[in-house]
Amino acid sequence: MAKYRKLGRTSSQRKALIRNQVTALLHNGKIVTTEAKAKEIRKVAEGLIAMAVREKDNFEEVTVKAKVARKDKDGKRVKEVVDGKKVTVYDEVDKTIKKDMPSRLHARREMLKVLYPVKEVPAAAAGKKRNTKDVDLVDKLFSDVASKYADRNGGYTRIVKIGQRKGDAAMEVLIELV
């Protein structure tokens, strides 16, 4: 008996399909797909969530000095003339950052192997490239999802049967985060 479903695809296509659907599931919270695909997605998604729950508090807060450009009232950088050239003025600021411990860093990199980068486009300014935002799904997993499932031992997803698809009569399901 096989350890996984082949889904009628080559290994690279299958890996891309699963990565894509796991990314969509973790970004949106639920997706509609076929039953066989949902069962494969569940394995990967639950593994990622379990890893996030295990490593959610494994960091230390560190204070660092950072150079930040000084800005005027319009939000533009302040420049001054030095030796006939315009140079941006910087201020030193203390910032507190989260420094991952080695096991959490490893978990972060394992998650990045699976998850695709996600860009979020606001509905009001659709079609404009400069209005898009990069979504950090790994950070979302560590902060939001892991804290939600901290007291739960597995079973992070639910599969609900919807019915048969009209075109090919494949069983469609809704897979969602519990």
Please check whether residues 85 and 115 belong to one and the same domain.
Answer: no
Domain boundary among 39, 74, 100: 100
Please check whether residues 111 and 39 belong to one and the same domain.
Answer: yes
Average pLDDT of the segment spanning 43-48: 96
Strands 118-120 and 79-82: unpaired
Instruction: For residues 129 and 121, give the distance between their C-alpha atoms in angstroms, rounded to a whole number.
Output: 8
Distances (CA, A) of 26 to 19, 41, 124, 134, 146: 11, 11, 24, 15, 12
| Domain limits for position 105 | 11-58+101-177
Handedness of CA 66, 72, 75, 78 (dihedral sign): negative
Please check whether residues 107 and 158 belong to one and the same domain.
Answer: yes
Asked if residue 41 is part of any domain, the answer here is yes
**Percent above pLDDT 70 for the chain:** 97
Please check whether residues 82 and 118 belong to one and the same domain.
Answer: no
Please check whether residues 90 and 107 belong to one and the same domain.
Answer: no
Asked if residue 2 is part of any domain, the answer here is no
pLDDT tens-place string over residues 125-171: 666 677 788 999 999 999 999 999 999 999 999 999 999 999 999 99
Please check whether residues 119 and 168 belong to one and the same domain.
Answer: yes
What confidence tier does 74 reach under pLDDT thresholds 50, 70, 90?
confident
Look at residue 10 and tell me whether its pLDDT is greater than 70.
yes
CATH code for position 120: 3.90.1030.10
Please check whether residues 107 and 28 belong to one and the same domain.
Answer: yes
Give the pLDDT confidence score for residue 18 in this predicted structure: 97
Please check whether residues 122 and 110 belong to one and the same domain.
Answer: yes
Q: Do residues 69 and 88 lie in contact, with contact meaning Cβ atoms separated by under 8 Å?
A: yes
Handedness of CA 6, 10, 13, 19 (dihedral sign): positive
Give the pLDDT confidence score for residue 38 in this predicted structure: 97
Give the pLDDT confidence score for residue 127 in this predicted structure: 66
Please check whether residues 21 and 95 belong to one and the same domain.
Answer: no
Q: Where are the beta strands (DSSP E) in 11-115?
A: 30-34, 59-69, 79-82, 85-88, 90-100
